Amino acid sequence: MIERDDSRALSARVEEQLSSSIRILIADDFEDWRRQVHLLVQTRPEWLVIAEASDGSEALQKAKELKPDVVLLDIGLPKLNGIGAARRIRQLSPSSKIVFLSQNNDLDIVRAALSTGALGYVCKTDARSELLPAVDAVLRGKQYVSSSLNYEFTDTLGEKAPCRHEVLFYSDDAVLLDTVTRFIAAALKAGNAAIVLATPSHRDSLLQRLKAGGVDTNGALQKGTYISLDAADTLSTIMVNGLPDPVLFFRGIGDLIKAAAKAAKSEQPQVVVFGEAVALLHAEGKADAAIRFEQLGNDLGKTHEVNILCAYPLSSFHEEEDKNVFQSICAEHSAVYSQ
């Protein structure tokens, strides 16, 4: 009887500790680093590490099951990267505060990470001095970014026109080329910039149509306001383990957008992007990768003045078999057209 009472008392103390503690999930693929973070967290008696995860999928599952108060999340996680995991965690455990803990110090990556709804971003090199203050801040609902990044919060909190991220499901190449020609020509004639990531045949046909419509494509190419690249080649630079890597995506596509915007002559330059890399992924049976690419495109629109047009051939979708994929693709866009 005494042993049973002791057991009940112990259980009660454990439950009391769990209910009064700040419950933390650590997600990083390096065990030694997780151990270091764990030791840092332990310096606060009221904080409790309730679980660890070594990849994005595991982090998502544990966040769903345990509903932690704080998730310390690396970006370069296997299986599901940190940016993708953060987006899903925000859906499955909306009360969890997310702090990215990453070695990446690229400001485009920081903006993309915070655009998921995360409140904190700490560079691993600053963890000893800034991780605990970051967690304190996000628990109060405040944003926190490592001081070494010289990050301006107005970049993400200031008002800006919403990005247009539209999709065209086309019946034949004539429909595609007519639509894309109007899209690109309007931007270039207004003094803005345009980026095309397409198949070689579509790039060539588009260039001919733009010239026929009176667009100075030679001048735009020389100035850098018109950038035309092979979609497959571009994909090869940003794919890791069958999925687009967010760091490579924002570094590659983000740098293209910055360069195009800098070359544009309008007072408030805007960049339009036409891409069919997503259609190539879908055609290869990589629907998850295509949807992930679309999601990263949405994140891109939160950090750059950019409007995006994607395109898929209607013939690549089969009614029942691809119904869910079709709906998921549509859900990632601000407007959907079918011609």
Q: Which amino acid is at 76?
A: G
pLDDT, residue 7, reads 55
| Average pLDDT rounded to a whole number, residues 142-167 | 70
Percent of the chain clearing pLDDT 90 (strictly above): 53
pLDDT, residue 301, reads 82
What is 183-205 written as a DSSP string?
A: HHHHHHHTT-EEEEEE-HHHHHH
Q: Return the CATH fold of 165-338.
A: Rossmann fold (3.40.50)
What is 101-170 written as a DSSP string?
A: EES---HHHHHHHHTTT--EEEEGGGHHHHHHHHHHHHHTT--EE-GGG---THHHHS--PPPPEEEEEE
pLDDT band of residue 112 (cuts 50, 70, 90) is confident
pLDDT in tens, 235-251: 999 998 888 988 889 88
Residue 93 has pLDDT above 50, yes or no: yes
Residue 83 has pLDDT above 90, yes or no: no
Q: In the chain, which segments carry CATH 3.40.50.2300?
A: 2-157
pLDDT in tens, 200-227: 999 999 999 999 999 999 999 999 999 9
pLDDT, residue 5, reads 53
In the sheet that holds 120-123, the strands lie side by side as 47-53, 22-27, 70-73, 97-102, 120-123, 144-145
pLDDT, residue 8, reads 57
pLDDT, residue 286, reads 93
| Average pLDDT rounded to a whole number, residues 163-188 | 92
CATH hierarchy code of domain 2-157: 3.40.50.2300
Instruction: Specify the pTM.
Output: 0.69
| Average pLDDT rounded to a whole number, residues 173-184 | 94
| Average pLDDT rounded to a whole number, residues 120-133 | 91
